[in-house]
Amino acid sequence: MERTRRTINAALAVTCLAFGSVACAWLISTKPAPPKRSIFARPLEVAVSPVGRTLEVTPVMGHGTVRPKHQVNIVPQVSGRLVYALKDLAPGNIIPKGELLFEIDPTVYESRVRQAEAETRRLEASLERADQEMTNLDERIANAEQMLAIDQQDYITSERLHEIDQVGTQRDVDLVRQKLLRQKDALIELRSRRSIIPHVKLETQAQLEAARARLGQATYNLENTKIFCPFDARVELAAAYESQVVTAHFSIATLTDMSAFELSVGIDPRELRWLDQAIRPSALEREEEGPQPEVRVSWSLHGQEFAWRGSVTRFERVDEATRTARLVVEVRDVDMVATVALGSDESRPTLAIGMHCRVELPVEPLTGALLVPRHAIYDNRWAYVFEPDPDSRDSRIGLLARREVPMLRSVGDSVLVDYAGREGTEVCELGPGERVVVSPLVKPVVGMRVRLRDEQVASAVTLPTVKLSRRRNGIPIYREPARTATQPEDHRAHGSHPAVMGQLDLGLGGG
């Protein structure tokens, strides 16, 4: 029985295999033949985008870090013990203008002021005394001159009486002459004292000026025992507190002026030619007066964008390290509160030191500008356009032509190649109304037949990107992106855009 069962099972297996083989052979022999079509007979499908003249006002983008326009160190001019220090003097606090920050013990400086005042009053009194003495001497000199005249007349009379009239003796004449000589000597003494007084006054006046200078210095030192906040300021550093002894000419605090902030904005030096005339370096160096164009300063946080208004004040330098041109943008206190560009406006921060902001600098409007998608330019020189094929009845069939274009300026995802009134030796062969090929081309050949992808001409091409799907054993595994309507279906026939290939290689190599 067991042998019979095994024989039956083997017979059934052989029968099933034979039946399956016959069925497979029948299906293979009766399959329909696939349609055959040569890939070389079908023109390359391309997406195109017409170009036209437009007004170009895209601002020049730059970045900079907020810094204070004015920052001062609080340095005491006198030494002494602090008898008062503001309690709110801590980093980050805002101090209003005129607030008392520190006070140094004024006792010593008050006594020096009183000493200088007393010395000044003494010298002023000495000058007044000299003036009064000069007046008195003038009166005494006048009286002495009159007495001298009288004695002179007595001497002449006595001498004449003795010689002519024989009245009196020679001794009487000598006595009168001695009196005359004593009067002359007294007059000389008075005149000598009178001539010295102006020199004494000059010396006293010099001493008085020195005393007044000492008084001024003492008063200045006394006034400097109190230190006030010079402007509405933010405290950056506080290094002195009450009861501490401070030394003159050593910093004890650092304050930042809140009236204005600055940003040193770095841009490509080649972008300077596109800026508004009023903010170009040549105009800023001449300090031309007139309305300044508004500059937009923005900063993003958690998906919200906050914006401030500013103005360009000066051209700083060309940075050697970064090879960028530096323009200084100033934001005044009236524009410190941000305007919210995105999201809710529940929180409106103020501009703060250290923020790294994006700055939009206004440009000179360019009329009749011609823009070409960046990825449609090859070798930084050529753009390929679609030209209708005169030998084909199908309007979607055309020939590939090449145009030379100068890359004047990068504007987002486009490149400026021409504008109205442009001067220079750069040639732009591309004209308005021509249809630029925006789909990827691998080794394009001028004159090759191409075919439009759709009746609706594409305006742009979406470049594929590499997305990270998951990780396996710590190694990233990449998956291909979904194809878009504007991408070629067969990469083997049409190739991939060089930028895309570079993106793929970079992603896989860095994994």
Residues 372 and 503 in one domain: yes
Do 376 and 492 lie in one domain? The reply is yes
Assigned domain for 116 exists: yes
Residues 240 and 290 in one domain: yes
CA 299 → CA 340, 346, 406, distances in Å? 10, 16, 34
Q: Give pLDDT, residue 414.
A: 93
The verdict on 84 and 134 lying in the same domain is no
Count of Cβ atoms closer than 10 Å to residue 49 Cβ:
19
Residue 411 lies in a domain: yes
What integer pLDDT is reported at residue 507 of this predicted model?
32
- Total structural domains in the chain? 3
Residue 67 lies in a domain: yes
Q: Are residues 156 and 67 in the same domain?
A: no
Q: What is the pLDDT of residue 454?
A: 65
Whether residue 420 is contained in a domain is answered as yes
Instruction: Identify whether 20 is part of a domain.
Output: no
Residues 134 and 244 grouped into a single domain: no
Residue 174 lies in a domain: yes
Co-location of 122 and 208 in the same domain: yes
* Pair (118, 201) in one structural domain: yes
Same domain for 122 and 193? yes
Give CA–CA dist 499/305, Å, rounded.
31
CA–CA dist 22, 324 (Å, integer): 79
pLDDT at 128: 93
Task: Spell out the SS3 assignment of 429-490.
Answer: CCCCCCEEECCCCCCCCCCCEEEECCCCCCCCCCCCCCEEEEEECCEEEEECCCCCCCCCCC
186 shares its domain with 254: no
Q: Which domain holds residue 403?
A: 48-53+367-510
Predicted local distance difference test score (pLDDT) of residue 39 = 54
Last residue of a domain, one of 299, 330, 364: 364
pTM, rounded to two decimals:
0.62
Does 230 reside within a domain?
Answer: no
Averaged pLDDT in 10-residue chunks for the chain of 511 residues = 81 87 86 69 86 93 92 93 91 90 94 95 93 91 90 83 76 84 90 91 94 95 94 90 92 90 92 90 76 88 87 90 92 72 60 90 93 93 92 88 93 91 86 92 90 59 36 35 37 34 31 28
Q: Which of 364, 394, 413 is the last residue of a domain?
A: 364
418 plus 480 within the same structural domain: yes
Question: What is residue 401's predicted lDDT score, i.e. its pLDDT?
Answer: 94
pLDDT in tens, 384-429: 999 998 888 888 889 999 999 999 999 989 999 999 988 888 889 9
Q: What is the pLDDT of residue 476?
A: 36
pLDDT score at 344:
53
For residue 279, tell me if it sits in a domain.
yes
Domain match, 394 and 470 both = yes
d(CA 427, CA 405): 7
